[in-house]
Amino acid sequence: MGTRQVTVFGGSGFIGRYVVERLADQGWVVRVAVRNPRRADFLKPLGNVGQIVPMRAPLQDGNAVQAAVEGADAVINLTGILYQQGAQTFAAVQAEGAKLIADAAVAAGVGTFVHVSAIGADAQSASAYARTKAAGEQAVRDAFPEATILRPSIVYGPEDDFFNRFAVMARLSPALPLIGGGRTRFQPVYVCDVADAVVTALTLPAARGNLYELGGPKTYSFKELLAYILEVTGRRCCLVTLPRNMALLKASVLERLPGAPLLTRDQVKLLDHDNVVSEGAAGLTDLGITPTALEGIVPEYLLRYRKGGRLTADAA
C-alpha cells in the first residue's frame, strides 16, 4: 500500500490547521488547497519535509481545483466564510465552490469525500449563510452520494471568532449586545473534536454517505455565553438587550465599514434559530469521540483578555 494523499480545501483556516496536523500525524501526504499558498506555509512544520504541500486553488479557477484533486485518495472541503466581501460571497464559496470541488473529486476518481457544513443549514432560511450551506450540502450529495457531511455548531478554540471576538468587545466597550434578548441557544464544540471527526470520517466505513451534527456536551443561551466570557476575563460590562429590528439597523451600518464587520444583517437573521444538535441526529459519539466541555478549554486562551493578562490570573 502506497502513501495516502489527501487534498484539504480551506486547510489554512481555523479548523483546517488542526485537521492538517492530524492527517500528517497519521502519515497522509496533505495538499492544502487555498487561494494564497504562501499564507499556508505556516502549516509545513506540522509534518515531515514535503509532507504538507500548499497549492493554489481558488474556487473561481476550475482548472486549479481539478489539478489539486488529481491523484488524491481523499478530499476534504472546509471552505466557508462568516461574511461576504467582494468576490467572496456565500453563494460563490459555500454553494458553487462546494459543487466545483465535489464535481472535480468525482472526475478525478477520488474514493472518499468529507464536507464540513454547519448546523442550521436550511434551504428555506432567511439567512443567505444558512441557505448556501444547504445548497453546498445538496451539491455535494448529488455529485458524491457517499460523501460524509459534518455540521458543527459554533466551534471554539484558541483562534475562534466567537469567544475571542466578544472578549475583545468586553475590553473595549462598557456594554455587550444581547440581540433579541440573548435567548438563542448554542452547543459549542471544541475545534479538536471537530478535527478528530473529520479525520475519523475518512476511514470509518459507517460514516460513508452519512450526516453528523457536532455539538459539545452542553447547550447555552447567547446570554449565558456572554456572561461566561465576562466571568472568565474579569470584565464588568452591561448586557444590554438589542431588539432584532434595532440589531438589523445597526448591522446595516457596520457591514459597510472596511475590514471584518462586527455584525451583519445575515448574522442577526441566523440568531432567529437555535444552533444545537437536532434530536436523534448522529453526532460525535457515533464517531467514537467524547465531546469536550468548554469550561476546561476556553479560560486558558481568554486569560490574555483579563486586566493585567495571564500574570494577574496566575496570582489570583
pLDDT at 24: 98
pLDDT at 310: 56
CA 241 to chain centre: 27
pLDDT at 3: 86
Instruction: Evaluate whether the domain defined by 5-146 bears CATH number 3.40.50.720.
Output: yes
Segments making up each domain of the chain, as ranges: 5-146, 155-188+216-275+292-316
Task: Kindly report the CATH class assigned to 155-188+216-275+292-316.
Answer: alpha beta
Is 236 exposed, middle or buried (CB count within 10 Å of its CB: 0-12, 13-18, 19+)?
exposed
CA dihedral 15, 17, 19, 24 (to 10 degrees): 180
Residue by residue, DSSP assigns the chain as ----EEEEETTTSHHHHHHHHHHHHTT-EEEEEES-GGGGGGGGGGSSTTTEEEEE--TT-HHHHHHHHTT-SEEEE----SS-BTTB-HIIIIIIHHHHHHHHHHHTT-SEEEEE--TT--TT-S-HHHHHHHHHHHHHHHH-TT-EEEEESSEESTT-SSHHHHHHHHHH-SEEEEETTS--EE--EEHHHHHHHHHHHHH-GGGTT-EEEE--S--EEHHHHHHHHHHHHT---EEEEE-HHHHHHHHHHHTTSSSS-S--HHHHHHTTS-BSPPTT---GGGGT-PPPPGGGTHHHHHGGGSTTHHHHHHH-
pLDDT at 316: 45
State pTM to two decimals. 0.95
- Nearest-angstrom CA–CA distance, 76 and 110: 11
- Nearest-angstrom CA–CA distance, 69 and 35: 15
Contacts of 82 (CB under 8 A, 6+ apart): 129, 161, 267
Backbone angles phi, psi at 182, to 5 degrees: 75, 25
Please report, in tens digits, the pLDDT of each residue of the chain (316 residues total): 568 999 999 999 999 999 999 999 999 999 999 999 999 999 999 999 999 999 999 999 999 999 999 999 999 999 999 999 988 999 999 999 999 999 999 999 999 999 999 999 999 999 999 999 999 999 999 999 999 999 999 999 999 999 999 999 999 999 999 999 999 999 999 999 999 999 999 999 999 999 999 999 999 999 999 999 999 999 999 999 999 999 999 999 999 999 889 899 999 999 999 999 999 999 999 999 999 999 999 999 999 999 876 555 444 4
Q: For residues 244 and 268, is the Cβ–Cβ distance under 8 A?
A: yes
pLDDT at 307: 84
Which residue do the cell numbers 438589542 mark?
Answer: 242
Contacts of 271 (CB under 8 A, 6+ apart): 179, 180, 184, 222, 244
- Nearest-angstrom CA–CA distance, 102 and 115: 9
